[in-house]
């Protein structure tokens, strides 16, 4: 699988969504107007909980759903009113959607057949794609005789055989078991490098998003919460929603109140220095919390999960759950009250009302952690 | 014994439970069938009073009768035209109803209703609808006198029969075929659309191949049933006329047996018809049945 085969290489197309919106009637708006631009050859993962409109968005790009408004531009061409076949997209479906009455070869060649490609060329293209996907020995089988992973490969083969400029994936790995999902992820990443088509991959699995994406587009109720690289999304979440959605276990979000000098929990404990007043939401990742005897924040352990490589402590602080990830080998006395400190450089501050991140809130964080103690 | 014994601990209980049904089947199917086969080797007296074994003489008589072959020919023509149409028309309706075209939801309901109407009633209704003077075709007859008259023209009468049969076959076949179409996952159409296949192409490349099991079922049932169920229609619409042009085998058997009192001749024809139907069904299963199932 390592030799790079250039015989199937698409001219990647740019995808632009300009004010694209979808509503079924006056009251139910699935997707409010959205503006986004996907670069040619980029692998974009659309991530969101079920019902956030991510599949609808994909189907609108594919032409399987009509847009209620706005423009879709693929490779410089306005396509929102064109049929799927004229948009230059190919799609891989969650349930594979292979034609059960056709062989593997017929399944992959169907789009070419419809397009009127000669039989000789179809056979040749099928052979190339089958070799690339390790399906050469299965060409005469029917989908019913294949395993889940093989079916998924056929579905991918069917999509790439037309050398589309845009590849769309609708949760293609969610029907596979964990091991296979991992293997297919690796294969997909490799395939993308080789084919270079602009890819849009819809999923609710953050691991798939983090590992596959050049950029992740996080959708919440049709709104774009954040569109950025996996690194940026992990380290600088733009909102509470993103912060809670990415990371396992997810980021801790604590309700805090600012008095102009410090941020306090509901029980009065000071957790950070901040000059703002009012209610805020403070985020810290479980792995960023440091447990030490000198820590000023006190909490009770309620539950511990040993995951081998690390341990998750679930604690309660001011009636809110706080999860702490402990590296392997750190001994903790669970009977005692736990002393913690939150390194200010690792803290994230969000607006208490709309949940949007307040960037640079702890810009001067380095020196602050020491001064917290003075208020105790 | 495996799991069966835990379900039916009592040895005779299962037999006892199916006994009423078996009794009915034996009484109203196997006994008459056996009787027909038995009589086909005897010369029966029309009003009782003993019978005489004649060997194959009845078969010789029936098989050399040109009227028998004419009725058989008409039966085959009816079988091919009426049952094909009785599957194709509901198929078109089902494909339309499966799409989200206007009123398809209401149509799905309404199209099932004829199922509740007895064959004889359908016959009476169609005799009226196709009446050359007051029916649907009456206006055409005033424009082109003599164009349509099933009472005189054998072909017109035959067409009336076929139309009535097709209409009565719509509900059942429609329901079966629509269920088949509904079971095709929508992503299959989406995949075909992405592959560039338009709606018509999708019908032939995706829908029809995937409802082959349902199509096969309806064809087998139609082919075997059209031969016998047409009796009620003939009896009420044409009475076998005009000039015997709509006297199909099943109607001829009735006329020979119960009007002509040729019990042996009618029994012989019944036996032949039965063997024909059995062979037909067997052939369909052997040649078509096996290739039609896919693992979804």
What is the rounded distance in angstroms from the CA atom of residue B69 to the CA atom of residue B267? Answer: 16
CB contact under 8 A, B194 and A62: yes
Query: According to the model, what pLDDT value does residue A359 have?
Result: 83
Average pLDDT, chain B: 80
What is the rounded distance in angstroms from the CA atom of residue B17 to the CA atom of residue B144? Answer: 63
Q: Give the domain B64-292 fold.
A: MetI-like fold (1.10.3720)
Element (H, E) at B229: helix B212-237
Q: Report the chain B residue with the minimal C-alpha distance to residue A116.
A: B196
Query: According to the model, what pLDDT value does residue B4 have?
Result: 53
Q: Per-residue confidence of chain A (376 residues) as pLDDT tens digits? A: 333 344 445 578 889 999 898 888 878 888 888 899 999 989 999 999 888 889 899 999 999 988 888 899 988 888 888 888 888 889 999 888 999 999 999 999 999 999 888 999 999 999 999 988 888 899 999 998 898 889 999 999 999 898 888 999 999 888 888 888 888 898 889 888 888 889 999 999 999 999 999 999 999 988 899 999 999 999 999 999 999 988 888 899 999 998 888 888 888 888 888 888 889 999 999 989 888 777 888 888 888 888 888 888 898 888 888 999 888 777 777 777 888 888 888 899 999 888 899 887 776 443 333 333 333 3
Query: According to the model, what pLDDT value does residue A363 have?
Result: 66
What is the SS3 assignment for A327? strand
CB contact under 8 A, A97 and B185: yes
Nearest Cα residue to A244 out of A143, A321, A173: A321
Is the bond preceding residue A249 a cis peptide, omega within 30 degrees?
A: yes
For chain B, give every domain's residue range.
64-292
Using alpha carbons, list the distances in angstroms from residue A199 to A38, A42, A66, B76, B182: 9, 6, 20, 58, 32
Nearest-CA distance A62 → chain B (Å)? 8
What is the rounded distance in angstroms from the CA atom of residue B64 to the CA atom of residue B42? Answer: 18
Q: Both tokens of residue B279?
A: 């062979």
Q: What is the dihedral of CA B182, B185, B190, B193, to 10 degrees?
A: -60
pLDDT one-digit tens code per residue, B218-233? 888 888 888 877 887 7
Q: Report the pLDDT averaged over residues B175-202.
A: 89
Query: According to the model, what pLDDT value does residue B199 have?
Result: 86
- Return the number of other C-beta atoms located less than 10 Å from residue B119's C-beta: 17
Q: Does B295 touch chain A (CB under 8 A)?
A: yes
Q: Which of A101, A111, A145 sits opposite B195 (nearest CB)?
A: A111
- Return the number of other C-beta atoms located less than 10 Å from residue B21's C-beta: 9
In B, which residues are within 8 Å of A159 by CB distance? 194
Map tokens 């599949």 to a residue: A55
What is the rounded distance in angstroms from the CA atom of residue B104 to the CA atom of residue B86? Answer: 20
* Bridge partner residues of A16 (DSSP): A37, A73
CA atoms within 13 A on the CB side of B102: 0
Query: According to the model, what pLDDT value does residue B50 have?
Result: 73
CB contact under 8 A, B194 and A85: yes
Nearest-CA distance B3 → chain A (Å)? 30
Map tokens 């032409």 to a residue: A63
Nearest Cα residue to A84 out of B196, B200, B203: B196
In A, which residues are within 8 Å of B198 by CB distance? 83
Going by their DSSP bridges, the two strands A166-170 and A89-92 should be labelled as: parallel
Q: What are phi and psi of A76, to 5 degrees?
A: 80, 0
Q: Which of B190, B209, B212 sits opposite A97 (nearest CB)?
A: B190
pLDDT one-digit tens code per residue, B84-130? 998 999 899 888 888 876 676 777 777 777 777 777 777 778 777 87
Map tokens 């709309």 to a residue: A354
Query: According to the model, what pLDDT value does residue A195 have?
Result: 84
Helix residue ranges, H only, B238-291:
249-254, 263-287
Q: Does the CA dihedral A267-A280-A210-A92 come out positive or negative?
A: positive
Q: Does B190 touch chain A (CB under 8 A)?
A: yes
CA A376 to mean position of chain CA atoms = 41
What is the rounded distance in angstroms from the CA atom of residue B185 to the CA atom of residue B207? Answer: 10
CB contact under 8 A, A90 and B294: no
Tell me B113's DSSP state. Answer: G
Domains and CATH numbers, chain A: 15-240 (3.40.50.300), 250-375 (2.40.50.140)
CB contact under 8 A, A101 and B209: yes
What is the rounded distance in angstroms from the CA atom of residue B272 to the CA atom of residue A372? Answer: 104
Q: Which of A94, A110, A142 sits opposite B294 (nearest CB)?
A: A142
What is the rounded distance in angstroms from the CA atom of residue A61 to the CA atom of residue A165? Answer: 13
CA A204 to mean position of chain CA atoms = 7
* Bridge partner residues of A21 (DSSP): A69
pLDDT one-digit tens code per residue, B275-295? 888 888 888 777 766 665 555
Q: Which of A64, A97, A159 sits opposite B188 (nearest CB)?
A: A97
Q: Are residues B217 and B281 in contact, defined by beta-carbon separation less than 8 angstroms?
A: no
What is the rounded distance in angstroms from the CA atom of residue A8 to the CA atom of residue A167? Answer: 13
Nearest Cα residue to A142 out of A109, A92, A99: A99
Nearest-CA distance B194 → chain A (Å)? 5
- For chain B positions 205-234, those within 8 Å of chain A (CB to CB) are 205-206, 209-210, 212
* Bridge partner residues of A17 (DSSP): A36, A72
Map tokens 């669970």 to a residue: A334
Q: Which residues of B40-57 are buried (b: 16+ CB within 10 A; e: fewer)?
A: bbbbbeeeeeeeeebeee
Residue B8: band (very low, low, confident or very high) from pLDDT cuts 50, 70, 90: low
């Amino acid at each position: 699988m390592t030799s790079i085969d250039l015989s199937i290489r698409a001219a990647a197309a740019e995808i632009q969504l300009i004010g694209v919106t979808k509503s079924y009637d006056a009251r139910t708006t699935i997707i409010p107007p959205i503006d986004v631009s996907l670069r040619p050859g980029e692998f974009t993962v659309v991530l969101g909980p079920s019902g956030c409109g991510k599949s609808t968005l994909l189907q609108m790009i594919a032409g399987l759903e009509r847009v209620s408004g706005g423009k879709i531009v693929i490779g410089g061409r306005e396509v929102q009113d064109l049929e799927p076949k004229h948009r230059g997209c190919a799609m891989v479906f969650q349930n594979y959607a292979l034609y059960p009455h056709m062989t593997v070869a017929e399944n992959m060649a169907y789009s070419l057949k419809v397009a009127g490609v000669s039989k000789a060329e179809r056979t040749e293209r099928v052979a190339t794609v089958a070799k690339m996907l390790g399906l050469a020995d299965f060409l005469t089988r029917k989908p019913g005789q294949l395993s889940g992973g093989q079916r998924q490969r056929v579905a991918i083969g069917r999509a790439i055989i037309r050398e589309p400029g845009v590849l769309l994936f609708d949760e293609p790995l969610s029907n596979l078991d964990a091991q296979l999902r991992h293997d297919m992820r690796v294969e997909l990443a490799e395939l993308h490098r080789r084919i270079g088509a602009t890819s849009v991959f819809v999923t609710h699995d953050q691991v798939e998003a983090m590992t596959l994406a050049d950029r992740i587009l996080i959708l919440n109720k049709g709104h774009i919460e954040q569109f950025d690289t996996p690194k940026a999304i992990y380290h600088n979440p733009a909102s509470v929603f993103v912060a809670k959605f990415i990371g396992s276990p997810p980021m801790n979000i604590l309700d805090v109140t600012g008095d102009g000098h410090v941020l306090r929990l509901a029980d009065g404990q000071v957790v950070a220095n901040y000059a703002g007043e009012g209610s805020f939401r403070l985020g810290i990742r479980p792995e960023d919390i440091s447990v030490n005897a000198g820590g000023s924040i006190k909490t009770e352990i309620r539950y511990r999960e040993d995951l081998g490589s690390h341990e998750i402590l679930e604690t309660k602080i001011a009636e809110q759950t706080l999860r702490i990830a402990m590296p392997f080998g750190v001994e903790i006395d669970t009977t005692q009250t736990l002393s913690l400190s939150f390194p200010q450089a690792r803290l994230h501050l969000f607006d208490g009302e709309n949940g949007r991140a307040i960037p640079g809130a702890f810009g001067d964080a380095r020196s602050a952690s020491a001064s917290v103690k003075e208020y105790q | 014994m495996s799991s069966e014994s835990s379900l039916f601990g009592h040895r005779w209980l299962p037999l006892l439970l199916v006994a009423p049904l078996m009794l009915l089947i034996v009484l109203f199917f196997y006994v008459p069938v056996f009787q027909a086969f038995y009589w086909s080797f005897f010369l029966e007296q029309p009003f009782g009073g003993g019978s005489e074994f004649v060997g194959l003489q009845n078969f010789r008589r029936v098989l050399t009768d040109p009227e028998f072959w004419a009725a058989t020919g008409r039966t085959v023509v009816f079988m091919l035209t009426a049952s094909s149409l009785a599957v194709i028309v509901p198929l078109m309706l089902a494909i339309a109803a499966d799409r989200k075209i206007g009123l398809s939801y209401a149509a799905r309901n309404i199209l099932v209703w004829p199922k509740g109407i007895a064959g004889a009633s359908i016959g009476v209704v169609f005799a009226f609808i196709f009446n050359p003077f007051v029916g649907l075709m009456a206006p055409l007859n005033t424009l082109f006198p003599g164009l349509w008259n099933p009472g005189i023209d054998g072909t017109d009468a035959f067409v009336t029969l076929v139309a009535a049969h097709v209409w009565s076959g719509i509900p059942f076949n429609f329901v079966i075929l629509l269920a088949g179409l509904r079971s095709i996952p929508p992503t299959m159409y989406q995949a075909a659309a992405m592959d560039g296949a338009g709606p018509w192409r999708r019908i032939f490349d995706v829908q029809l191949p995937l409802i082959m099991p349902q199509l096969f079922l309806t064809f087998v049932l139609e082919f075997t049933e059209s031969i016998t169920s047409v009796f009620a229609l003939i009896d009420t619409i044409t009475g076998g006329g005009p000039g015997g042009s709509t006297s199909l085998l099943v109607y001829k058997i009735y006329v020979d047996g119960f009007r002509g009192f040729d019990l042996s001749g009618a029994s012989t024809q019944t036996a032949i018809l039965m063997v024909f139907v059995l062979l037909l069904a067997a052939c369909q299963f052997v040649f078509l049945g096996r290739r039609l199932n896919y693992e979804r």
